A and B are shown apart, each in its own frame.
Chain A
Amino acid sequence: MLRFNMTLLLVLVVCALALVTSQHRARKLFQELEREQERARQLDVEYGQLQLEMSTWATHPRIEKIARERLRMVQPDVAGRPIVAVAQPAGGR
């Protein structure tokens, strides 16, 4: 009887230690997950900022200014525009 009780006690102690360890590991993993999620959020924010930056660089007034002033582009002469007769798809750019 005593031996049986001692065995049970040992099993109990082992179980308790296992619980502590697994809880600890779960928390470690959770922290890691949390860190990665934070990183994902950060990257998302950065993506938004980059999109914003891109659309700021790509505003039409800026493009026109560069085209005209730096690249010296001009609107082609009406007479010099060859017209190609194909059915054009409507819309789009």
Chain B
Amino acid sequence: MVVRRRPQRGHRYTESPVLELALQGWRSRTVGLLLMAALLALIIRAFYLQVINNDFLQEKGDSRYRRDIEVSASRGKIVDRHGDMLAVSTPMQSIWAIPADARTMTAEQKRQLAGLLEMGVRELDGKIAADKTFVYVRRQVSPETGARIAALKLPGIHQEKEYRRFYPTADMTAHIVGFTGVDDKGLEGVELAFQQSLLGRPGNRTVIRDRRGNIIEDVGAMRPPQDGKDIRLALDSKIQYLAYSQLKATVDTYKAKAGGVIVVDTRNGEILALVNWPTYNPNNRQNLSGAPLRNRAITDTFEPGSVMKPFIAALALEQGKVTVNTPINTAPGRMTIGSATISDPRPHGLLTVAEVIQKSSNIGTAKIALGFTPKEMWELFDKLGFGQAPNLGFPGEVNGRLRPWKTWRPIEQATMSYGHGIAVSLIQLARAYTVFANDGELMPLSLLSVDETPVHGGRVFSPQTVRESRLMLEMAVQPGGTAPRARVAGYRVGGKTGTAHKIEGGVYAHKYIASFVGIAPISDPRLVIAVMIDEPSTGVHYGGDVAGPAFSRIAAGALRTLGVPLDAPLQMAAVGTGKEPL
């Protein structure tokens, strides 16, 4: 046993008995080669995964736990000058389905879902029968209903947060505020005009989610959501309500087709109220079309009639052609210019310039107007803003119609002086009257509240002319004037009536537009109120009878709301019937 002699030491490699076995050399080389090949394959694979395919795999990995989520932003609110809500967004749930999955619902589940959505099972079946991968089952259900549907854990039924717009003041402010479509896009009014600032910009963030769907970490950059800006209008919802309820009452009383009221603050041109009739409820627009949608005060023009007369008289005063006491012979109440004859509804005889305005004589005004060149008169109208859109940023503003003076014939110059042959919108009229309510400057109007006071505009008349014109306007609401019913207890007011025939198919029809544009109080004007009633059809159609009383009640309420000090004794015969709004 030679081998056993040194068992602890082991034997040296070269002495290993295994080596003495003679193996063919190719076998070990083959194994070595195979191992090398396997190693090479692993290296190539690793290179392929780590370098060439890295992005793809990284993405696959991320998609297991990383999520990009959108953070929604809400649309800005619209509020009135006191901060009262006019339009506000609140989140609702939209229920959508993957039809293929949703069809696996049991009949019982379908019944439950249909019940919660207040729809028939058949209607629900119809929606999920669609051959699509995404279908809305019902949009904008209340968050409570959404939570109850989520609790049912129905297959293929999902939810999504959406904002819905609410208008608490509903039809009262419908035209000025407008409304949005289902996807938060402004479609009318301020909602459309200020779409860019109202719109919120949704943010997004990248997060890591765990198995249960909880967010456990923010990774990467996040973009915070930007909520839309709130819009503060100049509107005073109390005055708006006053104007709305009076307009509605007046339209009802005189069975008129339509109407509009605009109240403007003369110190800075803020629009305190703007209402139209007919109107609509912006919260429920299912069968809405045509007439009620029109914002007539801004988008419709009409021949204004006699409300234009004070401007003509004021221009004559301004040029020194007449004084308020210059007599003008309006007898016999008819006048022929060229081949056309114009007339007064009732002949007046000899009137002063002030009385021409007070009694609204067409002949008197035409005689004054024919003393101007067409260019002078056109420039007057142009400076007053007729023929130019009021630039409120409102959708659908119109320019009105004022033809270039070179095409005027004398008869047209005469009729234009009392408001025929020229078309204006109610808002243009209200704006033009601001010249009488301050020192003779045309005030730019504003939908938004204006911080600075006073605002200045382009000068049209001198302060002296304006003072005299205001007294003429005041005479019109006094006994002997055309609008004694426009008076307001406790305040001196002034204004001018308009009763214009409507044109239908190019000829004047026996349909009227009654209007009244007034200023209150006369001693220190604060408000211009324009009232227009389209087609009063109870037999009464004079501006002083139809629009005058509405002006009186709106002015009384608005002046009191604004806390304007009285400038006349209260002892006037009470127009109040207990019907004015509180």
Chain A contact residues, CB within 8 Å of chain B: 26-27, 30-31, 34, 45, 48-49, 51-52, 55-56, 58-61, 64, 67-68, 73-75, 77-79, 81, 83, 87-93
| Contact A88:B563 (CB < 8 A) given known A45-B91, A61-B241 | yes
**A87 CA / B565 CA spacing, docked (Å):** 8
Contact of B82 among A75, A90, A93 (CB under 8 A): A93
Interface string of B149-175 (1 = CB under 8 A from A): 000000000000000001011101000
Within B547-568, which residues are at the interface with A (CB < 8 Å)? 561-566
For residue A35, give the distance in angstroms from its CB to the closest CB of chain B. 9
| Contact A78:B580 (CB < 8 A) given known A88-B565, A92-B563, A93-B561 | no
* A34 and B215 contact, CB distance less than 8 A: yes
A-side contacts of B582, CB under 8 Å:
64, 67-68, 73, 75
B-side contacts of A75, CB under 8 Å:
576, 578, 580, 582
Contact of B574 among A26, A27, A49, A78 (CB under 8 A): A78
* B570 and A55 contact, CB distance less than 8 A: no
* A77 and B574 contact, CB distance less than 8 A: yes
- In the complex, B217 has a CB within 8 A of chain A: yes
| Contact A81:B570 (CB < 8 A) given known A52-B90, A67-B582, A90-B562 | yes
| Contact A93:B88 (CB < 8 A) given known A64-B581, A75-B578 | no
Contact of B563 among A67, A79, A89 (CB under 8 A): A89
Least CB separation from B207: chain A residue? A34
* A45 and B90 contact, CB distance less than 8 A: yes
Can you name 16 extra interface pairs (CB under 8 A) apart from A92-B563, A93-B563?
A: A27-B210, A30-B217, A30-B218, A31-B216, A52-B85, A56-B168, A59-B168, A64-B241, A64-B245, A64-B581, A75-B580, A78-B490, A79-B571, A79-B574, A81-B570, A83-B490
* A30 and B565 contact, CB distance less than 8 A: no
- In the complex, B84 has a CB within 8 A of chain A: yes
- In the complex, B201 has a CB within 8 A of chain A: no
**A68 CA / B89 CA spacing, docked (Å):** 32
**A59 CA / B214 CA spacing, docked (Å):** 43
* A83 and B90 contact, CB distance less than 8 A: no
- In the complex, B139 has a CB within 8 A of chain A: no
**A60 CA / B236 CA spacing, docked (Å):** 12
* A49 and B216 contact, CB distance less than 8 A: no
* A27 and B168 contact, CB distance less than 8 A: no
B-side contacts of A26, CB under 8 Å:
217
* A79 and B570 contact, CB distance less than 8 A: yes
* A27 and B216 contact, CB distance less than 8 A: yes
B-side contacts of A90, CB under 8 Å:
562-564
**A88 CA / B572 CA spacing, docked (Å):** 22
Interface string of B73-84 (1 = CB under 8 A from A): 010000000101
- In the complex, B238 has a CB within 8 A of chain A: yes
| Contact A78:B576 (CB < 8 A) given known A51-B88, A52-B85 | yes
* A30 and B574 contact, CB distance less than 8 A: no
| Contact A83:B238 (CB < 8 A) given known A51-B85, A73-B582 | no
B-side contacts of A89, CB under 8 Å:
563
Within B174-198, which residues are at the interface with A (CB < 8 Å)? none
**A61 CA / B172 CA spacing, docked (Å):** 9
* B84 and A55 contact, CB distance less than 8 A: yes
For residue A40, give the distance in angstroms from its CB to the closest CB of chain B. 13
Contact of A60 among B166, B237, B565, B572 (CB under 8 A): B237
- In the complex, B307 has a CB within 8 A of chain A: no
* A55 and B168 contact, CB distance less than 8 A: yes
Which of A56, A77, A93 has the most chain B CB atoms closer than 10 A to its own CB? A93
For residue A37, give the distance in angstroms from its CB to the closest CB of chain B. 10
Interface string of B53-73 (1 = CB under 8 A from A): 000000000000000000000
**A31 CA / B571 CA spacing, docked (Å):** 72
A-side contacts of B88, CB under 8 Å:
48, 51-52, 55
**A26 CA / B218 CA spacing, docked (Å):** 11
* B217 and A27 contact, CB distance less than 8 A: yes
- In the complex, B466 has a CB within 8 A of chain A: no
| Contact A93:B238 (CB < 8 A) given known A52-B85, A56-B168 | yes
A-side contacts of B562, CB under 8 Å:
90-91, 93
Least CB separation from A56: chain B residue? B168
Least CB separation from A90: chain B residue? B563
For residue A24, give the distance in angstroms from its CB to the closest CB of chain B. 10
* A34 and B237 contact, CB distance less than 8 A: no
For residue B273, give the distance in angstroms from its CB to the closest CB of chain A. 12
**A84 CA / B396 CA spacing, docked (Å):** 46
Within B199-245, which residues are at the interface with A (CB < 8 Å)? 210, 214-218, 237-238, 241, 245
